[in-house]
Structure 1
Amino acid sequence: MEHLARLYPAHLDELQNRTKAALSRSGYEALAIHVGQPRGIFLDDNPYPFKPNPHFKQWLPVVDNPHCWVIVNGEDKPKLLFYRPVDFWHKVADVPSDYWSEHFDIVLIDSADAAAKALPDNKGRVAYIGEHLEYAKSLGFSDCNPAPVLNYLHYHRAYKTEWELACMRKANAIAVKGHLAARDAFMAGNSEFAINQAYLSATEQGENDLPYGNIVALNRHGAILHYMHFDRAVQPQNRSFLIDAGASFNGFSADITRTYAREENAFAELISAVNALQKDLVAALKPGLKYADLHHQCHLGIAAILKDVGVIHCDGETALETGINRAFFPHGLGHHLGLQVHDVGGFMADDYGTPQPAPAKHPFLRTTRTVEAGNVLTIEPGLYFIDSLLEEVASGSHSDLVNWDKVESFKPYGGIRIEDNVIVHQDGLENMTRKLGLA
């Protein structure tokens, strides 16, 4: 905690500078950043799980207390409206006393009415940042989430402060504990549900603490990219295991994927080949590299693996040109990571919001930006045997380029994905995930 306390003032200074620049560009006097409020379930007296506005949690590590606000203008001490109702039904948040609290003018509020009175009077000159637009307008805000402000803030969110990096290292450390426990549960022959429970127990995080829903897939389920079913039944044979699961710390995310084979066989060799490719792609990350170029390099690497094991009969460029490769690797190589798992700003050419979309051949690529120091990126090559995509190839004009007997032999194993979280420094790389001992 002392380490975070030392880093926090510089983090706050950077956010103040970004705010000042965004306000200067847009003409507003301040930002009113709303953490959000619970949304009720239809015809029910329970709310959906609460998720805080990422703009709010970038300023301070409060991720579970709705109805709060941060008022900032880039110069004055930030103002925090902190919600503490009189409530005997639910746990009320403690009065802030952690290291970050001294950097805010804190006003305790106990109701929406109290918040309305504590907000700035000149709401026509203050931009509302949040998702509850009707509520904001009822309070008198005329401008909600103005594009010039969001474009500037979203673009610069790709450059992490040292405090943010420290939080992300901690999130990775928590997630790695879960991955090791899940691997052991798989090797012990457990069900998907039991493996997920082992993960949650090891991380000491509940499902709403996690940055996204865990993917815990045995056998053919590994071919479903976002499989989140958690089968309760123990499988007659646990051939393979794909786990894509993260953790959160102070609102910052880890996003890690691993794939395992139960036996030393051809699929285990395929995992080793994808793992080696993933390490090579990480090593290629550097400031000045276009991420889309690395994605193209990944496609060539996947094609080389497929050719080496006899799944395809052509070189990488032919596999890409014919579309065959995208049947085996349909998603993007990775994405920016931070306050959100798929962090914002990936398709922006500049902080004015000039679009830089994914290339037509790679529509699911999640960032097209040039890699720069201070970025945190995931690198996650994949190789899958997905029925619907393979059927398209089988019925097309290039079916003869695929060894369908080989494809059938790999289908029972589902697929492979290997994902690390990597900090790009000016003078090198920091693979947070492998640094923590996850091979």
Structure 2
Amino acid sequence: MSPQVSKHGVLNPKTTHFEFFGPFGALVISLGVPFITYALNLGCSEHTGNCSQPYEDLPALLVAAVLEPRWWKSLWDTQVVLTYAGWHAFCVLAWAVLPGEWLEGLPLRTGGTKKYKINAFSTLLLTLGLVLAWILQFGPQSFTYIYQKFPQFITAALLNSVAQAGFVYAQSFRNGELLALGGNSGNSIYDFYIGRSLNPSLGSLDIKQFNELRPGLILWVLIDICMVCEQAVRRGVYRNVTDSLWLVACSQIWYVADCLYNEPAILTTMDITTDGFGFMLSVGDLLWVPFVYSLQARYLVFNQVELGPTTTSVIMALNVLGYYIFRTANAEKNDFKEGIDTRNLQYMTTEGGRKLITSGWWGRSRHPNYLGDIIMAIAWCLPTGFNTIFTYFYPIFFAVLLVHRQMRDDENCAKKYGKDWEKYKKIVPWRIVPYIY
């Protein structure tokens, strides 16, 4: 039987280039991500010294926290697993019933396009409406369940991540399935991790796009609200919630809301256009994002910090600066792609006819939106003070993640544009931070 072909050649060519150090790296990361998630949350809790251990003791602390038998025995809770399954089902139901525009993604190798339903922001608004109504009716103490069962929710999210990755991996062997160019190596460990299927679907539901913006990101918002409720119960009333926790929660909720409001922008990202959906994206979307990115809010529940108006204003200004860079840089790029150039941007034209911006934010660095992301990440951690390194794990990890993404993007652009990319790099030499990197 001859291999399927597209107008560009073989439809699903064999993957010959490995990322993440190949199958061994994929296995290490697959085991390491759940371990780190448990370690951060068990090692930094009010039951293990309030995250105030000396830095030199951290490695032993993290290992001891995860290996402690009493913690392992408490990580499973059937009610929590069912609650999380119900949450995921609610997100699917909201996707199905809430109105939303259907937008076409970028052209596929098959020559066609795929349509995506855009209603993530509506799902967030519905969720917030239901949650706020619940809290007003039953009080803040009724919405502290996630905090009380935090390790068990990690287990539930991990199970869902593994189940989804296993499902789409099995589904990728269906006849006619479009595979990711980087996930068809033939090594089951690597392909399971990196993602074999490019656009796994259940009917018209695109599993990858759904997971990118709904269950994990909106759960992050719910976790932050839960932390505010937990601290409100401990301190008496909402007006006594610390300014530091309000600052963190409101900043992160705004970030998620902005991301979901601008949902169409995700259709041109590497996650959607290039990467397959495997354990890497599944565990990242469902486990890592909500349960690691919320560490600052959870820390402030039991290490309550009062900042005062001056410090609060300075940190808020830093967060606004990061958001301004992030949003205006993305808007500049998206408007330019759509032919709306209100800034008279300069650009160079490649041999293939593509235009690369060489002025504005994109003339200052090749990934100015990443710079805004990093600044916001730092601003979310500053309200926790400097008594622990735990709460600063997020910007450290995020910087490494964005540098890796930048390297992957540069590699792809070098293949795509050839010598034109070398010309472009001479015009815009800085990768993320102007004059530094």
TM-score (norm 1): 0.27
TM-score (norm 2): 0.28
Larger strand proportion, structure 1 or 2?
1
Q: Point out the structure with max Rg over C-alpha.
A: 1
Identify the structure with bigger relative contact order (alpha carbons < 8 Å, sequence gap 6+). 2
Larger helix proportion, structure 1 or 2?
2
